Amino acid sequence: MTEKNDFEPTIVGFTCNWCSYRAADLAGIARIKYPPNVRLVRLMCSGRLDPTFVMKAFAEGADAVMITGCHPGECHYLEQNYKALRRYLLLRRTLVAMGIEAERLHLAWASAAEGIQLAREITEMVERVRTLGPLNWHLNGSQPEVVSEAAIELEEVAA
């Protein structure tokens, strides 16, 4: 537990060039503070969000991924954020099926004016992930590790 709480998660955030990225800028201009755990990638639209990006982020060691876009009905490209929504819902189901906690993938709407809201979303996200603990996909399973009965017993002890 304690070991979990001083853990600093790394989160990749995908932002829309027209709303959430500007919201992030606005948060900066207003000097609103939030934890430094989120690293933002700018896309033209949340509709550009390719699930591959999310998989990639997890595979490369992100503890969580945040997708942000314009509010429904306010997409700069009219309705593409709905496509993002659809993909997010299916992607989340798939990740859950692969044992990744649903909370590690989060969709948040933030208009260009909502710097405070975005900052709050980020802060809350970081806290949620902190309690979930690290994912460390990039470390595990990459190097061959032998599972012998010994290992099995070890795991049983651990479990």
Partner 1 sequence: MTTKSNSHPQERIGVYVCHCGTNISAMVDVEDVAQWAADKLEHKGVVIARDYKFMCSSLGQELVEKDIHELKLTRVVVAACSPHLHEKTFRTACERAGLNPYLCELVSIREQVSWVHTDKVAATAKSKAVLSGGIERVLWHEPLDPMTVPIHPATLVVGGGIAGIQAALEIADAGHPVYLVERDASIGGHMAQFDKTFPTLDCAACILTPRMVEAGMHPNITLMTWAEVENVDGYVGNFDVTVRQKARKVITDLCTGCGICEEKCPKKVIDDVYEAGLGYRKAVYTPFPQAVPNFPVMDVENCIYFDTGKCKACEKFCPTEAIDFTQEDEIVEFPVGNIILATGYDLFDARRVSNYGYGHLENVFTSMEFERMNNASGPTDGEIVLRDGKTVPDSVGIIHCVGSRDMNYNNYCSTICCMQGLKFAHLVQERTGATVYNFYIDMRTAYKGYDEFYQKVLEEGTRFIRGKVAEVTDVARLPNEEGKLIIQAEDTLIGKQRRIPVDMVILSSGLEPRHDAKEVAKTFGISCSADGWYIEKHPKLDPVATMTEGVYIAGCVQGPKDIPSSVAQGAAAAARVIGKIQQKEMALEPVRASVLEDQCSGCRICNDLCPFNAILFHEDTMLSEINPALCQGCGTCVAACPAGAITGTGFSNEQVLAQIEGLLMDMSV
Partner 2 sequence: MKPKFAMYWASSCGGCEIAVLNTNEKILDVDANFDVAFWPVAMDAKYKDVEAMEDGSILLTLFNGGIRNDENEEIAKLLRKKSAILVAFGSCATEGCIPGLANLSPAREVVETAYHTVSTENPDNIYPQANYEMPEGVIHIPTMTSRVKTLEEVVDVDYYMPGCPPESHQIAAVLDLVIAVVKGEAELPPKGAVIGVGDSTVCDECDRKRDVKKVSEFTRAHLVGALDPELCLLEQGIPCNGPATRSGCNARCPEAGAQCIGCYGPAPGVVDYGARLISSFASVIDSNDPDEIERILDGIPDPAGQFYRFSLAGSLLKSSKSARNGKVLA
Partner 3 sequence: MSQLTPPVHEIEDLTLLEEVAARTAGVSRLEMCIQCGTCGGSCPSADDMDHTPRQLFAMLRAGMREESLKSNTPWICVSCYHCVVRCPQNVHITDVMYTIKGMAVSSSMYESGTASEFSQTFVDMIENYGRSFEFGLATRHYLKHFPLRLPGMASMGIGLLTKQRMAIKPTRIKNMKQLTDILDRAKELGATHE
* Beta strands 105-109 and 64-69, pairing class: parallel
Q: Taking CB under 8 A as the rule, does residue 61 contact partner 1?
A: yes
Which positions from 89 through 118 interact with partner 1, judged by CB under 8 A?
113
Distance CA 155, CA 1 (A): 19
Question: What residues have CB less than 8 Å from 4, skipping those under 6 apart?
Answer: 130, 131, 133
- The footprint of partner 3 (CB under 8 A) covers 32-34, 116, 119-120, 123-124
Given phi > 0 = left and psi -120 to 50 = alpha, else beta, which region is 60? alpha
* Residue 75 contact partner, candidates partner 2, partner 1, partner 3, none, CB within 5 to 8 A by sort of partner: partner 1
Rule CB under 8 A: say whether 155 interacts with partner 2: yes
- Piece of the chain touching partner 2 by CB under 8 A; list 24-32, 108-116, 121-129, 133-141: 133-141
Least distance from partner 1 to the Cβ atom of residue 147, Å: 26
Nearer to partner 2, 20 or 81 (CB): 81
DSSP 48-89: G--HHHHHHHHHTT-SEEEEEEPPTT-BTTBSHHHHHHHHHH
Contact residues for partner 2 (CB under 8 A)? 50-52, 54-56, 58-59, 72, 79, 82-83, 85-87, 89-91, 93-94, 97-100, 133-137, 139-141, 144-149, 152, 155, 158
